[in-house]
Amino acid sequence: MSKVKSSNLGYPRIGEKREWKRALEQFWSEKLTEEAFLKQIKELRLSYLEKQKNSGIDLIPIGDFSLYDHILDTSVLFGLVPERFNHKNGKVSLDTYFSIARGSKDAVASEMTKWFNTNYHYIVPEIKPDAKPYITENRLLKLYLEAKKELNIDGKPVIVGPITLLKLSKGFEKEDFPNLLRSLIPLYIDVFTDLQKAGATWIQVDEPILSTTLAKEDLNYFKETYEAFNNAVPNVNILLQTYFESVDHYQEVISLPVQGIGLDFVYDDGANLKSLKKYGFPEDKVLAAGIVDGRNIWRTDLDQTLHQATDLLQYVDQEHLWIQPSSSLQHVPVTVRQENELESVLKNAISFADEKLNEVVTLVKGLNEGHQAILNEIKQSKEAINALNQSSHRNIDSVKNEIQSLGEDLPTRPLPFSKRQAIQEKKWQLPLLPTTTIGSLPQTKEIRSARQKWRKGEWTESQYEQFIDQNIEKWIKIQEDLDIDVLVHGEFERNDMVEYFGEKLRGFAFTRFAWVQSYGSRCVKPPIIFGDVDLESPMTVKESAYAQSLTKRPVKGMLTGPVTIYNWSFVRNDISQFDVNKQIALALKKEIHALEENNIQMIQVDEPAIREGLPLKEEKKRKYLHDAVYVFRLATVYVENSTQIHTHMCYSEFDEIIDTIDQLDADVISIEAARSHGEIISTFEDYEYDKGIGLGVYDIHSPRIPSVEEIKTSIERALQVINPKLFWINPDCGLKTRNPNETIPALKNLVQATKEVRKKHLQLN
């Protein structure tokens, strides 16, 4: 009798305790030879495959593992190496591979950007219109044969599809797309042919671009591409895999000449299921149903999800149904097993990658053997979920009542900016082109060491606070000596711009080993928002007030905004995103009030992640941006007209959200712009922004110290389109990662450049 099968799309690369990260960084620092490094990496890679095999997964992905990034792997596979790396035809060396990702002494790294709407970053392929791709080495074949030989696993090779690869690339114009696609199609066919000859029965081709809003011509490209694959390699079974959203053109997608379609039934807002019920599904194709959440960390409600999967059997027979996560599991941590410090009511309700594989296998067992076969697992999942939902963490009446009392209208400051500006000018008496920094100042080895000693109990609270105060005092004096107009306290007490606040707010939890890959070897440990969020006591007042007591110049209070805290956390899924954001915003509103009461009346609420969270579908973006404006204003508008609200954003398609940024109604916005001044300035030529703004005048991500002339050029370029009375001068981001020997000279040059430009403009006017 035919049975439903279990499948996985991808597995975390980093290891339970970040063994992958350590191996990479030891190799980069020449503590490991290439041979020793590759041996360690192979052991890790095989251990991940064996773990999936032992969990009972039928279709195990091969090739999802990467030394850095899967998009970079695909680029290198097809010889798409930027010219500046001087690669000649043939296999790409490890040195060249890592140089593309990280840069070298002779060539800058390729650009890095967000992988759709996740917090993972990929290396952007650079492809010239006249590129001549070729196969450098069929790594998929090598990895497939390795798994077969070493572990007797007949795996499912995974590759990013050609249309998604090109859509995520740069370096060519729209009209070049068809020719580049046609140059890649034969190479994909060669890869597939080699895999077929080696015995592969299924190949997973990831085309997540299908989950975005596509034009009609894009659908024609899909038809052309997959017809070419089918004609050239008719005996290869291709699973066309989508994820992160629904597919808009469902009928066209399921009609493509492939043997299986992978659909996300978790993040589709019900649209994929609706299409399935309306249009059915081809009898001769496999439906790979993503019904276990691949991106968030909550335990699956096995009862509800089993019913959902059973419904799918009305449209697909058992032989043609696979159960799998909604996306690759690289977006979640490896395992819950080691999180022994979490409260049991929370730990029992969490599911990381290993646990999600078990859930997939359990659901398949329930479909094949009947509901009764997994009654115990269903009972356990329901009890764990109900226990958290009914706990005091998720039922704080004061928070619920406050949310229910909010109206739908956008919160609004008493006076518009034009009138607030006059009040603030009178209060602050700042010069033309005021100078400031974004917030954080260098976190030296000594500061990190002190924090570790305090956390381990080697230092008392009093010792640590005294150390932080000494650093604040030192840097207030440095800023005064540099003659910066608006100061910051430096954030020396903060480990991370989200984690710091999460540790002080009710409703957050933190793990020991729940790391996920952000980019390359950079791993992050997102906070878990698991309960109602509330402020129990002030979070930032002590340090900010102490800094202000040391100087007559204004010191900015520094907070992370609600949308960024949300987007950079694992978030509860029992209430809406909007309601969670409102809870965070109300907590920040109380903090802002406490800062005001303590004479901190310039307050910066950073929102670097607003753009990052944009939905993939055009029709969903409007609501998301409206909600982002609502919660920012909910946190910030209930202040005196003389209180100046600042915000900071990292640059990313700024013109796409300029209207939203304007609606935030912040008195001053600073934008990470040093690398893209020309693009941003063109935005202001088309959009008249009438509030205070600072475009970063030098790039803090580079250790080099910008000259006075260089900074003057940046300032003058911006003043071509921005009113000098509204323009602030600042670096493009926080200075946490820079050392004092870089920071102080750079800021000195910033102030000097500003004074020279200021003098010139005052003379002209």
pLDDT at residue 697, rounded to an integer: 87
Mean pLDDT of 521-547: 96
Residue 314 burial class via C-beta count within 10 angstroms: exposed 0-12, middle 13-18, buried 19 and up: exposed
Least Cα distance to 279 among 251, 256, 252 occurs for: 251
Q: Which residues contact 128 (CB under 8 A, 6 or more apart)?
A: 83, 171, 172
DSSP state, 523? Answer: E
Mean pLDDT of 656-673: 90
Label residue 674 by pLDDT band (50, 70, 90). low
- Rounded CA separation 704/701 (Å): 9
pLDDT at residue 675, rounded to an integer: 56
User: 3-class SS at 490?
Assistant: strand
Known binding-site residue numbers for 5-methyltetrahydropteroyltri-L-glutamate: 18-21, 114, 119, 522-523, 568, 612
764 has a pLDDT exceeding 80: no
pLDDT at residue 285, rounded to an integer: 98
Known binding-site residue numbers for L-methionine: 438-440, 491, 606
Known binding-site residue numbers for Zn(2+): 648, 650, 672, 733
Q: Do domains 5-69+133-391 and 419-764 have the same CATH topology?
A: yes
pLDDT at residue 647, rounded to an integer: 96
Q: What is the pLDDT of residues 535-553, one digit of tens each?
A: 999 999 999 999 999 999 9
pLDDT at residue 652, rounded to an integer: 56
pLDDT at residue 684, rounded to an integer: 79
Q: Which CATH class is domain 419-764?
A: alpha beta
Q: Which CATH class is domain 5-69+133-391?
A: alpha beta
- Name the pairing type of β-strands 121-123 and 112-114: antiparallel
Least Cα distance to 508 among 529, 523, 479 occurs for: 529
User: 3-class SS at 508?
Assistant: strand
Q: What is the pLDDT of residues 450-462, one digit of tens each?
A: 999 999 999 999 9
240 has a pLDDT exceeding 80: yes
Q: What is the pLDDT of residues 81-125, one digit of tens each?
A: 999 999 988 899 999 999 999 988 888 889 888 899 998 999 999
Q: What is the secondary structure of 154-174 as a DSSP string? A: --EEEEE-HHHHHHT-BSS-G
**Quick check: is 701 catalytic?**
yes
Give the lowest-confidence range in 356-370, 619-633, 695-709: 695-709
Residue ranges of domains in the chain: 5-69+133-391, 419-764
pLDDT at residue 1, rounded to an integer: 57
Mean pLDDT of the chain: 94
Residue 216 burial class via C-beta count within 10 angstroms: exposed 0-12, middle 13-18, buried 19 and up: exposed
Angle at CA of residue 690, ends 685 and 696, nearest 5°:
70
- Rounded CA separation 444/440 (Å): 12
Say what percent of the chain tops pLDDT 70.
98
pLDDT at residue 111, rounded to an integer: 87
651 has a pLDDT exceeding 80: no
Q: What is the pLDDT of residues 556-600, one digit of tens each?
A: 999 999 999 999 999 999 999 999 999 999 999 999 999 999 999
698 has a pLDDT exceeding 60: yes
Q: Which residues pair with 517 in a beta bridge?
A: 523
How many other β-carbons are positioned within 10 Å of the β-carbon of residue 593? Answer: 14
Give the lowest-confidence range in 420-429, 438-447, 643-652, 730-739: 643-652
Q: Which residues contact 367 (CB under 8 A, 6 or more apart)?
A: 4, 306, 309, 310, 313, 318, 321, 323
650 has a pLDDT exceeding 80: no
How many other β-carbons are positioned within 10 Å of the β-carbon of residue 762? Answer: 12
676 has a pLDDT exceeding 90: no
Active-site residue identified among 307, 371, 626, 701: 701
- Rounded CA separation 642/34 (Å): 60
Label residue 683 by pLDDT band (50, 70, 90). confident
Least Cα distance to 122 among 206, 219, 241, 4 occurs for: 206
**pTM (2 decimals)?**
0.92
Residues in the chain: 765
How many other β-carbons are positioned within 10 Å of the β-carbon of residue 472? Answer: 24
673 has a pLDDT exceeding 80: no
User: 3-class SS at 204?
Assistant: strand
Q: What is the secondary structure of 570-601 as a DSSP string? A: EE-SSS-HHHHHHHHHHHHHHHHHHHHHTT--
Label residue 679 by pLDDT band (50, 70, 90). low
Known binding-site residue numbers: 18-21, 114, 119, 438-440, 491, 522-523, 568, 606, 612, 648, 650, 672, 733
Least Cα distance to 102 among 91, 92, 112 occurs for: 112
377 has a pLDDT exceeding 70: yes
Mean pLDDT of 423-452: 95
DSSP state, 61? Answer: E
Mean pLDDT of 389-418: 96
pLDDT at residue 654, rounded to an integer: 67
